[in-house]
């Protein structure tokens, strides 16, 4: 069991959930992080974001539209074979 400040989490009960249920639980927990303003972001991630933004500013054609990105993600074409 994990004991937090406000609640105790029964890991054994979580393990008994189906994969779909555990993924849904993860998604709900992840969504709570979006509500926080103090989620730490490493300097490496910030540097990479700056690098990508500079690359796109220097060559706008290097990017793809959001709709195309989502289409690729949904079709799983982005995965290596």
pLDDT computed for residue 77 by the predictor: 64
Nearest residue to 78 (alpha-carbon basis) of 30, 68, 10: 68
Q: Which residues on adjacent β-strands are paired with residue 8?
A: 3
Residues 54 and 30 in one domain: no
Flag whether 23 is in a domain.
Answer: yes
Q: Distance (Å, rounded) from C-alpha 2 to C-alpha 7?
A: 9
Flag whether 80 is in a domain.
Answer: no
Flag whether 15 is in a domain.
Answer: yes
pLDDT computed for residue 33 by the predictor: 84
pLDDT computed for residue 81 by the predictor: 45
- Boundaries of domain holding 28: 2-34
Residues 27 and 50 in one domain: no
Weakly modelled stretches of the chain, pLDDT under 70: 1-6, 77-81
Structurally, the chain folds into a number of domains equal to 2
Residues 71 and 47 in one domain: yes
């Amino acid at each position: 069991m994990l004991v937090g400040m406000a609640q105790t989490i029964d890991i054994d009960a979580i393990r008994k959930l189906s994969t779909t249920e555990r993924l849904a639980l993860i998604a709900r927990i992840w969504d709570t992080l979006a509500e926080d303003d103090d989620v730490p972001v490493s300097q490496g991630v910030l540097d990479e974001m700056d690098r990508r933004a500079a690359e796109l500013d220097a060559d706008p054609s290097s990017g793809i539209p959001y709709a195309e990105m989502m289409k690729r993600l949904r079709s799983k074409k982005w995965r290596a074979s």
